[in-house]
């Protein structure tokens, strides 16, 4: 039986140095959000398991819907506990975003947990949703999942930025991703993404990623096309463009403001 699920779209695009646009899933709880993301033209979704009460079962349902829609399902896990990452990978995610990675040792632990031998020591669960439950030999399952799993290390502190080159050098890590909200908060300049300190952090991380053949991603930077263009020139190839909550709030506030104005005239 052949694999009915295609390869990891986002990982393939990154290998070709194409821009991957990702939509954050923060509050939506039904698989429909994956189809909505696909209808909008997003290449990937990331399901936030760090900042909301989404359950593993709910996240798995959204991942499976994304697989069917041709959108790469990525989960931002809540901790460095290897079971957080491996369980959602076993349940349908094609990638994990691990928050608060601050050293090469922590990045290496991510690889150890999430890739099969000889690269790491992920526990073999047999066939999984990401392979369409295809009937394959275990060696082929391990090879395909190693090839199609996207591992993203999030850099969210000044200390992590200082270690960007060492983190990028870890074999098996695919991307360095700056969590702009957390990083700017740690720097004492929350939300000031154009601040010279933040710009220096983006530049340093982009250099580290480029030096080691890894991708450079950014989250939190929205609604400023000029700044996003600067990041693209810097080498950013993965951008979380916005989240379900942000899109609902922006559209809802705009409509309410227009109707209030109309009622007042």
CA distance 142 to 123: 10
Residue with tokens 């928050």: 99
Residue 8: pLDDT over 80: yes
- What the block records as the tokens of 120 is 């790491």
Quick: pLDDT tens for 99-128.
Answer: 999 999 999 999 999 999 999 999 998 889
- What the block records as the tokens of 85 is 């990452």
Which residues face 44 on adjacent strands?
Answer: 22, 72
This prediction has a pTM of 0.94
Provide mean pLDDT across the span 73-84: 95
Angle, CA 33 vertex, CA 241 and CA 257 arms, to 5°: 65
pLDDT of residue 21: 96
The enclosing H or E element of 67 equals helix 56-69
Cα atoms in the Cβ-side hemisphere of radius 13 Å centred on 37: 36
pLDDT of residue 5: 73
CA distance 255 to 265: 16
> How far is CA 233 from each of CA 112, 168, 229, 237, rounded to the nearest angstrom?
33, 20, 6, 10
DSSP one-letter string for 133-187: T----HHHHHHHHHHH-EEEEEE-SHHHHHTHHHHHTSTT--EEEEEHHHHHHHT
Provide mean pLDDT across the span 2-15: 84
- Listed by start position, the domains of the chain span 9-264
Indicate the class that CATH gives domain 9-264. Answer: alpha beta
Catalytic residues: 51
From the number of C-beta atoms within 10 Å of its C-beta (0-12, 13-18, 19+), residue 251 rates as exposed
pLDDT of residue 220: 83
Quick: pLDDT tens for 170-211.
Answer: 999 999 999 999 999 999 999 999 999 999 999 999 999 999
Reported confidence tier of residue 59, pLDDT bands at 50, 70, 90: very high
Residue 2: pLDDT over 60: no
pLDDT of residue 1: 44
């Amino acid at each position: 039986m052949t694999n009915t699920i295609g390869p990891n779209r986002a990982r393939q695009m990154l290998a070709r140095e194409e821009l991957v646009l990702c939509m954050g899933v923060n509050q939506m709880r039904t698989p429909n959000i994956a189809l909505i993301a696909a209808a909008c033209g997003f290449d990937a979704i990331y399901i936030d398991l760090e900042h909301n009460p989404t359950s593993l079962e709910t996240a798995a349902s959204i991942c499976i819907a994304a697989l069917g829609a041709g959108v790469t399902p990525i989960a931002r896990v809540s901790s460095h506990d290897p079971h957080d990452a491996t369980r959602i990978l076993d349940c349908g995610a094609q990638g994990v975003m691990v928050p608060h990675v601050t050293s090469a040792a922590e990045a290496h632990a991510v690889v150890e947990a999430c890739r099969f031998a000889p690269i790491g020591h992920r526990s073999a669960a047999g066939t999984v949703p990401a392979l369409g439950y295809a009937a394959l030999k275990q060696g082929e399952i391990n090879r395909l999942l190693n090839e199609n799993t996207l591992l993203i290390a999030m850099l969210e502190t000044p200390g992590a930025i200082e270690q960007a080159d060492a983190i990028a050098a870890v074999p098996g890590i695919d991307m360095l991703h700056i969590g702009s909200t957390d990083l700017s908060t740690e720097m004492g300049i929350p939300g000031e993404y154009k601040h010279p300190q933040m710009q220096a952090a983006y530049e340093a991380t982009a250099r580290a990623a480029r030096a080691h053949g890894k991708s450079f991603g950014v989250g939190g930077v929205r609604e400023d096309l000029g700044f996003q263009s600067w990041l693209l020139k810097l080498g950013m190839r993965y951008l979380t463009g916005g989240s379900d909550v942000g899109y609902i709030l922006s559209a809802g506030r705009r409509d309410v403001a227009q109707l209030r104005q109309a009622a007042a005239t």
